[in-house]
């Protein structure tokens, strides 16, 4: 469904940090050539453009929203923590939309609300994610279903709702926050790794499909980032190496990647090495991973 054509009444909580965004729709129309200055990272060209960020309540999503706001984007911020979202909306002048992407109706409601309040969505950042760590047989079916819905299903549904208008305008950006777990697999996080691997396959397929349309696809592949994610997954990060990265620089790298249309952003950059080793010598990689401690966390 193209949500820019269907704005039926919707429920849910919406808090506006920038009420002027609702009335300013002048930039909505018209077709922009793929060579638009914004695709080359010109901040002035992004003035008035709208970015929707999921999982913006805290951690990496919050930092991504701050970086996009600093680059001149108007923001629609989605998450489950109403107080944190309202605080971020007040700081950035964005619009806070509270909801749970595990609900299959939420992606459609969010997409429609974003268009209703901001007029359009130029960049979609699929950042929301849930994790769990432990032996797979101990994981409940409900939790596995929730992770599939939040980490993968919601991103597909949001992209499906918002992509048609981007194609009609001839420009746009789709960003997906993956994980090194989705590239390599991690013992004790089988379902999480599967959802991120599926997200990467979806993004890569879209990139091929959208070539030449003016809509770019950027995937962030982070390693360990210092956010509340590890506490929420039930097992804190206790390894000495690699050391967790601060979320701010990781978010900034993604925003640069969106601006330049970069296909993949690794944080840290050396993560390309184990991915390359696994691709060229999978047997060697598995032996090294076993020796270096890729075991169930805990």
Catalogue the active-site residues. 192
Dist CA 271 CA 142 (whole Å):
32
- What phi-psi label fits residue 134: left (phi over 0), alpha (psi between -120 and 50 degrees) or beta? left
Radius of gyration of the chain (CA): 19
Reported as type and span, the H/E element at residue 171 is none
Q: Quick check: 87 and 159 in contact, CB under 8 A? A: no
Q: Quick check: 216 and 172 in contact, CB under 8 A? A: yes
Q: Quick check: 144 and 41 in contact, CB under 8 A? A: no
All residues at 6 or more sequence positions from 197 whose CB lies less than 8 Å from its CB, including other chains? 182, 183, 185
Count other Cβ atoms within 10 Å, centred on residue 194.
18
Dist CA 53 CA 56 (whole Å):
6
Dist CA 279 CA 144 (whole Å):
28
- Which residue, 190, 170, 194, is CA-closest to 182? 194
């Amino acid at each position: 469904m193209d949500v820019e054509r269907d704005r039926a009444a919707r429920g849910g909580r919406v808090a506006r940090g920038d009420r002027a965004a609702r009335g300013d729709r002048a930039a909505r129309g018209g077709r922009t050539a793929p060579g638009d200055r914004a695709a080359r990272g010109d901040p002035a060209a992004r003035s008035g453009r709208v970015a929707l960020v999921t999982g913006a309540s805290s951690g990496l999503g919050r930092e991504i929203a701050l970086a996009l706001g600093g680059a001149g984007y108007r923001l629609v911020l989605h998450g489950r923590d109403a107080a944190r979202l309202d605080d971020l909306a007040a700081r950035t002048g964005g619009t806070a939309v509270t909801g749970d992407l595990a609900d299959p109706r939420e992606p459609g409601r969010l997409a429609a609300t974003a268009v209703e309040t901001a007029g359009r969505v130029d960049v979609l950042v699929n950042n929301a994610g849930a994790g769990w760590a432990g032996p797979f047989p101990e994981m409940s079916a409900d939790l596995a279903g929730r992770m599939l819905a939040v980490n993968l299903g919601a991103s597909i549904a949001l992209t499906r709702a918002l992509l048609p208008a981007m194609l009609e305008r001839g420009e746009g950006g789709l960003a997906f926050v993956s994980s090194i777990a989705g590239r390599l697999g991690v013992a004790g996080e089988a379902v999480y790794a599967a959802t991120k691997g599926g997200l990467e396959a979806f993004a890569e397929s879209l990139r091929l499909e959208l070539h030449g349309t003016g809509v770019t696809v950027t995937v962030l592949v982070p390693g360990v980032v210092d956010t509340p994610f590890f506490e929420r997954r039930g097992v804190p990060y206790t390894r000495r190496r690699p050391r967790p990265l601060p979320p701010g620089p990781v978010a900034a790298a993604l925003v640069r990647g969106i601006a330049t249309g970069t296909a993949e952003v690794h944080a840290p950059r050396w993560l390309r090495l184990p991915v390359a080793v696994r691709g060229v010598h999978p047997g060697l990689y598995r032996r090294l991973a076993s020796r270096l401690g890729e075991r169930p966390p805990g």
